[in-house]
Amino acid sequence: MKVTAIPTMALSLCLFFLISSCKTDKTEDAPKSLNLPVEVTIQDIHEGYQSGKFTVSEVTKFYLDRADDLSFNGPELNAVISLNPKAMDIAAAMDEQLENNAMKGPLFGIPVFLKDNINSADPMPTTAGARAMKDSYPKEDSPLAAQLREAGAIILGKANLSEWANFHSRFSSSGWSGLGGQTKNPYDTTRNPCGSSSGSAVAVAANLSVVAIGTETNGSIVCPSNNNGIVGIKPTVGLISRSGIIPISFSQDTGGPMARTVRDAAITLGVLTQVDSADSKTTQPGRKIYDDYTQFLNPDGIQGKRIGYYTAPIDGYVRMQEVMEKAKTYFESRGAELVPVDEIMPSEARRHSFQVLLYEFKDGLNEYFASLGEDAAVKNLEDLIRQTQADSIEMQYFDHDLLNQAQEKGDLDSKEYKEALASMQRLSREEGIDKVMDELKLDAIIAPTGSPAWKTDLTNGDNFQFSSSSPAAISGYPNITLPMGQLDGLPVGISIFGKAWTEPVLLQIAYDFEQGTKHRMSPELP
């Protein structure tokens, strides 16, 4: 599938029990002339509302129909698990506000998809892509969903994902879930969208929504953003509440915005920073947050910065080196001093991180299931294992052995867990990013986010060539990825990461790079 550069800037498993929420009636509510461009922004939508060019209902209907057409029909991108049956009612109420000149909120009338591990009070289940969770309806919004709603966003539906955020089997295909099937890359539907926020990334890249929300434990925002040619922000752990989100790791999990532009991602980030007393990471000392990150979007944001270039991810990958060299040339032309960085953290940090994830996955899942009450579809991790292993569709391709490995772990008072957590944080922080940046006096570190999208293979699983996500992910520090170029029509991204709470600096750099290079490409779709 060809791609077009923008010079100025399930298995469609829509199962019978979800048909009513997956499909929408194509009534004539929206004018036939409404055809929003693929690269439409929050500002474009708001200007259209203010000028009377279109209504919230018309925009919402456009996106509901487009999601229905492209996710479940046509190219069958499988980006969506369910559509919100209340979306048009919410839009109608916002149109009344428009008529009364009461357009409030930085995301007023902006269509948003949530990754389907994030609770919302809309009549949609929160499933993590698992068939055992198909009837699991949360009773209330997660704080993240509530903040989006308060900012005026319209939650269009739930995006497909790698099941259990890709923490389920010894090998897997990113973007696959037992409930939603295999998410497909809109640039080439035979290629992989990466995960686990695969549906969120595809929804944004293919203009099924203006922005989407993903979650990351290690790479699950930045990798799908890389493979689908969009902007993804993985913030410092604790900037965004994780309550009401099906977890993997208390130490590494975070939600984050995914958008086609740095500005739209920054706008969305700013509405998600409220303190949550139920999530101690949002009350930790030294937390630095803002309710408006657009103030840091400086077109000269690279000037005078001393930036580390993390070389290890693409050693030997000649074609990616060529793309990265062009990016480095741009940085230098904008007044940056680039400093090579061979390695950031000791390799043992990854081993300790895996042990932490196993312990925290068990603890976090059991706590989440308990929060659903006595009528929960799944009672605990042991019950999940039983239901999963009895399901032929779930077991068709992947072994789900990580569920078993987690179940075998003890509680969070165990010596093994505490030692692994302490070692992981020391190696990734004091002896990792903090040490490298302090010794080299760096403002940030850049690296290629990952390789171009590989061919999807349900038999052999993912074929990652390389990734640079681990240092920021394991430390819990921020990481922004945005388009850097392309190889054979497939987008590739550049990551910009640094110390805790340095989102403002990273946004300055990202915005300068975006505005000066215009590497975002639009997939050719109907």
Q: Rounded to an integer, what distance in angstroms lies between the CA atom of residue 426 and that of residue 420? A: 10
Q: Which helix (H) or strand (E) holds 494?
A: strand 490-497
- Please answer whether residues 458 and 333 qualify as being in contact, where contact means their C-beta atoms are separated by less than 8 angstroms: no
| Cα 229-500-113 angle, rounded to 5 deg | 40
- Look at residue 489 and give its three-state secondary structure: coil
Q: Rounded to an integer, what distance in angstroms lies between the CA atom of residue 412 and that of residue 356? A: 9
CA nearest 72: which of 24, 114, 33, 129?
Answer: 24
- Please answer whether residues 252 and 215 qualify as being in contact, where contact means their C-beta atoms are separated by less than 8 angstroms: no
Residue with tokens 């699950």: 220
The active-site residue out of 220, 249, 423, 475 is: 220
The active-site residue out of 61, 115, 184, 281 is: 115
Whether 249 sits among the annotated catalytic residues: the reply is no
Whether 196 sits among the annotated catalytic residues: the reply is yes
Query: Which DSSP category does 261 fall into?
Result: S
Whether 115 sits among the annotated catalytic residues: the reply is yes
DSSP strand pairing (211-216 vs 254-259): antiparallel
Q: Rounded to an integer, what distance in angstroms lies between the CA atom of residue 78 and that of residue 400? A: 22
Question: Three-state SS string across 138-182, please?
Answer: CCCCCHHHHHHHHCCCEEEEEECCCHHHHCCCCCCCCCEECCCEE
| Cα 516-232-54 angle, rounded to 5 deg | 80
Residue with tokens 């922005």: 211
Calculate Rg over the CA atoms of the chain.
21
CA dihedral sign, ordered 266, 269, 275, 281 = negative
> Residue type at 526?
P
* 393-399 contact pairs (CB < 8 A, 24+): 393/131, 393/178, 394/130, 394/131, 394/132, 394/178, 397/172, 397/173, 397/176, 397/458, 397/459, 398/168, 398/169, 398/171, 398/172, 398/173, 398/176, 398/461, 399/169, 399/170
The active-site residue out of 136, 173, 196, 451 is: 196
- Look at residue 113 and give its three-state secondary structure: strand
CA distances from 472 to 195, 437, 477, 483 (A): 17, 13, 5, 18
Catalytic residues, by residue number, are 115, 196, 220
